[in-house]
Structure 1
C-alpha cells in the first residue's frame, strides 16, 4: 500500500473536526432564528387565547338580558328615608323592589327639597295622617266615609304612600296610615313602611283637630334625609 502523505492526513483531520464544531456566526444565526420562532409561537398563542376569552363577553353583552344592570341600579338607591318632623324623626324603609318608579320620584323630590316645611294638614285618628298641599274639606270626607264603609282589614298600619289622584296630577303628598286600611291599594300607591318612629306618628295622630280634621297647631316635616343603610 502506498503511504498517505502528511498533508492529506491533515486535511482529513480538519474535515472530521468540522463535523463536531460550528462556526460562532452560525450559532448566532441559529439562536436568533430559534428566538424569533418561539416569539412567533407565543404571540400566536396569546392572540388566540385573548380572542377566545373575549368572545363570550361580547356575546353576553349583545344577547343576554339587562337584568344585572337593573339590579345594580336598584341596589344603588337609598333604602331608607328619615322624615324629620317637629315631633321627632320617623324612619321609613322604601320599597325599591315593589314600587321602583315611585321610589325614584320620591328620592328625586327629596333631593330637590320638595318635602321641606311640608305640613301635616289632615289627621284622621285611627286612620291616616297626611302631609302635603291643603286641598280643603272634601278630601277628609272621602277618606273618613270610605274608612267607615269597610270592615275587612287587608293592610297594616304605619304604611307610607302617596295618593293616586294627586300623583297623576303631578303632586306628591305623603300619607302614613295609623290603622289597617282595607281598600289601601285603591287609594294609595304604597312605597314604604315605618320601621322606627311609630310613637312619633301616634303623637301626630293625637293632636287636636277641627271639624275638617285639620290640626289646630302647625306640625310639619322639617326635612328628609336619605340613607343607604340603617
Structure 2
C-alpha cells in the first residue's frame, strides 16, 4: 500500500476545513437592517389604517341624509366683528334661533352694505342705531320709548348688548342695526334679535356716551368701517 505524502495530507485537510465564523459587527448590522425594515412596514400600516379611518369618519353625508342640513348650517358664520371708529365689537349670531335674519345680515355684509354705515341715533341707556332707514316716524317711535326702563324682563332678549333689526321693514334695501345698551322689556315686540355682543361692550358704551343733539343724532360722525364674518374667535 502506497504511503500518502505529508504534503497531500495537508492539502486534503485544507479542502475539508469548515466555513469561517460570521463576525459580530456583521450580525449587528443585519439585525439593524431587519429591525428598521419591520419598523417601516409597521409604521406604514398604521399610517394608512389611521388615514382610512379618518376619511370614513369625516366623509360628507349624501344629500337626503339627516345630517346634511346640519352640515350646511355649520357653514354659516357664527360671529361678526363690527369694526367702528371707536373700536371693535364682536357679536355672536343666533343662526339657529333667527336663521332668516342672520342670512339677510350675512348677505348684507358680503355686499359691503355696512361699510361706512353711520350710527345716526344714539339714545343713552337704550340703544344705538345704525343704517339708512327712511320710514317716517320710525325713529321717533324708538326715541319716544327710550326714556325710563327700570325692570329687567325674564327673556334673554330683554338684556343689554343685544343685536337686532326692526320687525317693521321699510321699502329700502338697507339693513337697520340696533344694539341695546340697557334692558328693554318690550324688545320682542319691536326687534328681531339675531345676536348679542360678546366682546367690545366698552366700545358700545363709549359710543353711547357721545354728544348728541335734541333728536339723539351724534354731533360728530361715528359709524362702522367694515364687518368681518368669522366661524371661530
TM-score by length of 1: 0.67
Query: Pick from 172, 176, 179: which aligns with 1:173?
Result: 176
* CA apart distance, 1:171: 3.2
| CA gap 1:208/1:98 in 2 versus in 1, 3 angstroms | same
Q: 2:5: which partner in 1?
A: none
**SS of corresponding position for 1:166:** coil
Given that residues 79 and 230 in structure 2 are in contact (C-alpha distance below 8 angstroms), is that contact kept between their aligned partners in structure 1?
A: yes
1:34 aligned partner: none
Q: Relative to structure 1, is the Cα distance of residues 168 and 69 closer, same or farther in structure 2, using a 3 angstrom cutoff?
A: farther
Greater share of residues in helix: 1
Distance in 2 of aligned mates of 1:149 and 1:198: 21
Q: 1:22-55 CA distances to partner (integer Å, 9 max, x unpaired)?
A: xxxxxxxxxxxxxxxxxxxxxxxxxxxxxxxxxx
Displacement after TM superposition at 1:227 (Å): 0.5
- Give the unaligned 5+ runs of structure 2: 1-60
| Residue pairs, 1:120-199, within 5 angstroms | 120-133=119-132, 135=134, 138-148=137-147, 151-154=150-153, 155-166=158-169, 170-199=173-202
User: TM-score by structure 2 length?
Assistant: 0.66
Partner of 1:213: 216
- How far apart are the structure 2 equivalents of 1:187 and 1:199? 25
Matched with 1:99 is 98
| RMSD, aligned CA | 2.4
Select which of 201, 207, 216 maps to 1:204. 207
Equivalent-residue separation in structure 2 for 1:66 and 1:124 (angstroms): 48
Deviation at 1:153, TM superposition (A): 2.3
Larger Rg: 1
Alpha-carbon spacing, 1:207–1:135, altered in 2? closer, same or farther (3 Å) = farther
